[in-house]
């Protein structure tokens, strides 16, 4: 799929997935796309755990309520970062969120390209101890945490996309807002 087509096609899918296994080579290809993303100072701060074992999937699902994109998901991808990231060189900068998000966008485009769907789960992990429960299910040490979780599967249906503002309300040439 052309890169611009994948960017247009990607959307946050909150419906059911078909009962179809995602092949291991597809999961590897998808996560490799995340590893190929840039990172501040090439620090490669994001790691991934791919969840496709029925037992581990069941533990992940038990951390959530009854959402179709959770209950029917045949696989998950968890983005892992340091619980307490160390600042990067001079300036004391930490680029963990930037690194992680660029990687996730690559992954979402790859998911779209291969005919799957997903939704970026983030703030919801920070509530009700969900990140910790998932971390426990995948054997994370205390020094690491789940920052973002993606269900992955073949979408059961095509759902409406949320509307976005037009170009001229969010982008301008040379002078802000004009």
Q: Which of residues 126-155 bind a second copy (CB under 8 A)?
A: 126-127, 138-141, 144
Both ends of the chain: CA-CA distance in Å? 35
Residue 81 DSSP class = E
How near is the Cβ of 110 to a second copy at its closest, in Å? Answer: 7
Structure-block tokens of residue 7: 């960017």
- Considering only residues 31 through 50, tell me which ones interact with a second copy, judged by CB under 8 A: 31-33, 35-38, 40, 42, 44, 46-50
Task: Provide the b/e sequence for 70-92 (b: ≥16 CB within 10 Å).
Answer: bebbbbbbbbbbeeeeeebeeee
Site membership for a second copy, residue 65 (CB under 8 A) = no
Q: Is 88 helix (H, G, I), strand (E, B) or coil?
A: strand
How near is the Cβ of 75 to a second copy at its closest, in Å? Answer: 10
Site membership for a second copy, residue 7 (CB under 8 A) = yes
The nearer residue to a second copy, 8 or 18, going by C-beta atoms, is 8
Tell me if 70 sits within 8 A of 64, measured CB to CB.
Answer: yes
For residue 101, count other CB atoms closer than 10 A to its CB: 17
- Considering only residues 66 through 85, tell me which ones interact with a second copy, judged by CB under 8 A: 80
Q: Please identify, among the stretches 14-22, 65-73, 89-97, 149-157, the one whose residues bind a second copy according to the rule CB under 8 A.
A: 89-97
For residue 103, count other CB atoms closer than 10 A to its CB: 25
- Considering only residues 152 through 171, tell me which ones interact with a second copy, judged by CB under 8 A: 162, 164-165, 167, 170-171
Q: Which of 97, 130, 133, 154 binds a second copy (CB under 8 A)?
A: 97
């Amino acid at each position: 799929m052309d890169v611009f087509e994948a960017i247009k096609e990607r959307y946050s899918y909150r419906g059911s997935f078909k009962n179809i296994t995602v092949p291991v080579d597809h999961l590897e290809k998808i996560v490799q796309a995340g590893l190929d993303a840039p990172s501040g100072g090439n620090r490669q701060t994001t790691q991934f755990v791919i969840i496709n074992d029925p037992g581990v999937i069941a533990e992940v699902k038990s951390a959530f309520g009854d959402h179709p994109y959770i209950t029917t998901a045949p696989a998950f991808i968890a983005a892992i970062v340091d619980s307490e990231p160390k600042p990067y060189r001079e300036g004391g900068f930490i680029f963990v969120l930037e690194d992680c998000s660029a990687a996730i966008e690559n992954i979402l485009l790859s998911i779209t390209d291969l005919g799957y769907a997903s939704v970026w789960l983030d703030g919801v992990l920070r509530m009700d101890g969900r990140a910790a429960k998932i971390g426990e299910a995948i054997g994370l040490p205390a020094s690491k945490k789940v920052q973002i979780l993606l269900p992955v599967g073949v979408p059961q249906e095509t759902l409406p996309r949320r509307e976005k503002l037009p170009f001229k309300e969010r982008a301008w040439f040379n002078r802000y807002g004009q």
